[in-house]
Homo-oligomer: A and B are copies of this chain.
């Protein structure tokens, strides 16, 4: 718990995340726990978790475990936060996890007003192909629609008995019925992969999803003597910051938010206007070097665009040493994001054919 957060390439946001770890009683993430940690794990973007040892042990001992995430099929685009979730899912999949993706059509119908038929169409035409393009192995991933999964509803009903109204209010603030129904259904989703066999499981999420994890874990604890679910683990990644320096990219500021997929030219134009750690004059920049922890472009490279650690280290040193300007850094980011976006679009197109050919594993 006292372990230092690992962020070898700095970030001005680190302090906030240390506070979160403390406030929420999370475990700080240590990449040494897991074999072949992925980019996000190695670089401190994954920063915390719950019950991580249980999953690490399952990987090392080749025991059964699962990784679960959801698709909200109302969205037109996905964002970098979702990309990180998928990358972590892909990591656990590669290391033996039974991989399950819940398509939250009930929630998107209820909360976003998207009909179930429309949600199904969007999931098949966009989100599922995008999840595959971003790294999930379609042959090894199980998908289901919430509206077709009776087991999820059953567990949601059980959970309704075990969580009080006051807990909902303290967890979500506004205890509207739709919120309660969604939260209960998410508990059903999170535990669904254990319906035939109890096993460890991990849910990769952004920190804003922590309330769902907490409620699910409370439910598991409270029903230990009867339902005997294995306690579920979680792993948290930081947000991808807004290009203007805000905590989190958000569609409410479209000029500082890159969505996936996006036209490469548009993405480059946004990067061009990003907040950097470059100095006011070239002379000053050469002399003092960049302020990396304020640089949103470097953060983007670190989180998403540079796979190789040595390459990132080199950029870091050149930029911090003042030998690379923020214009040059932006140029690198633009080139990288162009390759990434073109590859992503191609990947989505390929995966879409796969979905059409019905080679996916749907549970109903």
**B-contacting residues, A47-101, CB 8 Å:** none
Copies of this chain, complex-wide, total 2
Judging by beta carbons under 8 Å apart, are B181 and A109 in contact?
no
The reply to whether the CB of A150 lies closer than 8 angstroms to some CB of chain B is yes
A304 to chain B, nearest CB (A): 34
Judging by beta carbons under 8 Å apart, are A153 and B160 in contact?
no
Q: Which residues of B contact A116 (CB under 8 A)?
A: 154
The reply to whether the CB of A337 lies closer than 8 angstroms to some CB of chain B is no
Judging by beta carbons under 8 Å apart, are B181 and A156 in contact?
yes
The reply to whether the CB of A161 lies closer than 8 angstroms to some CB of chain B is yes
- The residue on B at minimum CB distance from A159 is B177
Q: How many residues of A contact B (CB 8 A)?
A: 31
Distance, CA A161 to CA B114, complexed state (A): 12
Annotate A135-158 by CB proximity to B: 1 below 8 A, 0 otherwise.
Answer: 000000000000110100110111
Judging by beta carbons under 8 Å apart, are A157 and B176 in contact?
no
Judging by beta carbons under 8 Å apart, are A168 and B157 in contact?
no
Judging by beta carbons under 8 Å apart, are B150 and A178 in contact?
no
The reply to whether the CB of A246 lies closer than 8 angstroms to some CB of chain B is no
Judging by beta carbons under 8 Å apart, are A110 and B153 in contact?
no
- The residue on B at minimum CB distance from A180 is B177
- Complex partner residue of A157 from B110, B154, B159, B175, CB under 8 angstroms: B110
Annotate A160-199 by CB proximity to B: 1 below 8 A, 0 otherwise.
Answer: 1101110010000011111011101000000000000000
Judging by beta carbons under 8 Å apart, are B177 and A168 in contact?
yes
The reply to whether the CB of A130 lies closer than 8 angstroms to some CB of chain B is no
**B-contacting residues, A253-305, CB 8 Å:** none
The reply to whether the CB of A106 lies closer than 8 angstroms to some CB of chain B is yes
The reply to whether the CB of A107 lies closer than 8 angstroms to some CB of chain B is yes
Annotate A105-147 by CB proximity to B: 1 below 8 A, 0 otherwise.
Answer: 0110111010010000000000000000000000000000001
- The residue on B at minimum CB distance from A164 is B176
A282 to chain B, nearest CB (A): 56
Distance, CA A111 to CA B162, complexed state (A): 10
A165 to chain B, nearest CB (A): 5
- Complex partner residue of A147 from B154, B175, B177, CB under 8 angstroms: B154
A257 to chain B, nearest CB (A): 27
A96 to chain B, nearest CB (A): 31
Q: Which residues of B contact A157 (CB under 8 A)?
A: 106-107, 109-110, 178, 181
Distance, CA A103 to CA B157, complexed state (A): 15
Q: Which residues of B contact A160 (CB under 8 A)?
A: 110, 177-178, 180-182
Judging by beta carbons under 8 Å apart, are B147 and A148 in contact?
no
Distance, CA A161 to CA B147, complexed state (A): 16
Judging by beta carbons under 8 Å apart, are B106 and A154 in contact?
yes
Q: Which residues of B contact A158 (CB under 8 A)?
A: 109-110
A142 to chain B, nearest CB (A): 18
20 A-B residue pairs with CB within 8 Å: A106-B153, A106-B157, A107-B157, A109-B157, A110-B160, A111-B161, A113-B161, A147-B154, A150-B150, A157-B178, A157-B181, A160-B178, A160-B181, A160-B182, A161-B177, A161-B178, A165-B176, A165-B177, A177-B180, A177-B184
- A residues apposed to B, CB below 8 Å: 106-107, 109-111, 113, 116, 147-148, 150, 153-154, 156-161, 163-165, 168, 174-178, 180-182, 184
Excluding A148-B150, A159-B177, A160-B178, 10 further A-B contacts by CB distance (< 8 Å) are A106-B154, A109-B158, A110-B157, A110-B160, A157-B181, A163-B177, A164-B176, A165-B174, A177-B180, A177-B184
